[in-house]
Amino acid sequence: MTTTSILRMTSTFLRSSSRYPLGESRVEVRFTDSTDPDLAVGAAPDGPRYCWSHFTVHPCTWLRQVHGRRVVRVDRPGQHAGALADGVITAVTGAALAVVVADCAPIALISSDAVGVVHGGWRGLEAGVLGASVAKMRQVASGPISARLGPCIHGECYEFGRQDLDRLVRRFGPSVQSRTTWGTPALDLPEVVRIELRRHGVTLEKSQADEDRCTACGPSLWSFRARRDRQRQGVVAWIEPLHRES
């Protein structure tokens, strides 16, 4: 299948996508929403592999996410599919990587010759999953790393227990503390991601189409916190080879 036909197939399902030219290849990053197929593990009879086939023809490494800090490195397409982890990186062309979310933050990491995706729940972020993902990606990436943040729950909707919030404020700083629209203590999850990226020398690319969308109160997004949705959206990323005409 040619690159042109790949893009034609995926564009039917994806509202948000980005391409990053890398000379002989390019990084493709796709954030999905509730207008796309449900990506929850077990949602399709043929499993996650079937779900992700809507978005890429490449073998996909999806994760059984556990809100921890484990990160796996993919050295061949499809390696570690179903691994217990919350981050995955690769420098291999044609190896798709994916995480799923309801309210947690889907994060894509991009460099000149590598790509990664991270499941950014508050527990995993507190445990250091984003820093661990950046460190593992730097083992294979030759250039600077940037990031994209997809839709996640925002402070105005993310009521949070005082004890947990105080601990996260000590860990990340006072700017992660917020308030809900009904006046209770809340966590600013996107701010936690921004702080962690800055701490690890990663530039966050601004994308209002993704970063400014709240899963709890925004349209076309699943939310477990707001509606107890069991469906999931996510992010998939891969390095696409550029086929040159002979």
What pTM was computed for the model? 0.88
What is the DSSP-derived secondary structure letter of residue 77?
A: T
CA pair distance 74, 168, nearest whole angstrom: 31
Burial (CB count <10 Å: 0-12, 13-18, 19+), residue 1: exposed
Tens-place pLDDT, residues 79-129: 999 999 999 999 999 999 999 999 999 999 999 899 999 999 999 999 999
Domain boundaries, the chain: 3-152+203-241
Tens-place pLDDT, residues 140-150: 999 999 999 99
CA pair distance 190, 35, nearest whole angstrom: 23
**Number of alpha carbons in the 13 Å side-chain half-sphere of residue 15:** 18
Hey, what are 98's tokens?
A: 């994916």
Look at domain 3-152+203-241 and name its CATH class: alpha beta
What residues form DSSP beta bridges with 19? 28
Tens-place pLDDT, residues 137-191: 999 999 999 999 999 999 999 999 999 999 999 999 999 999 999 999 999 999 9
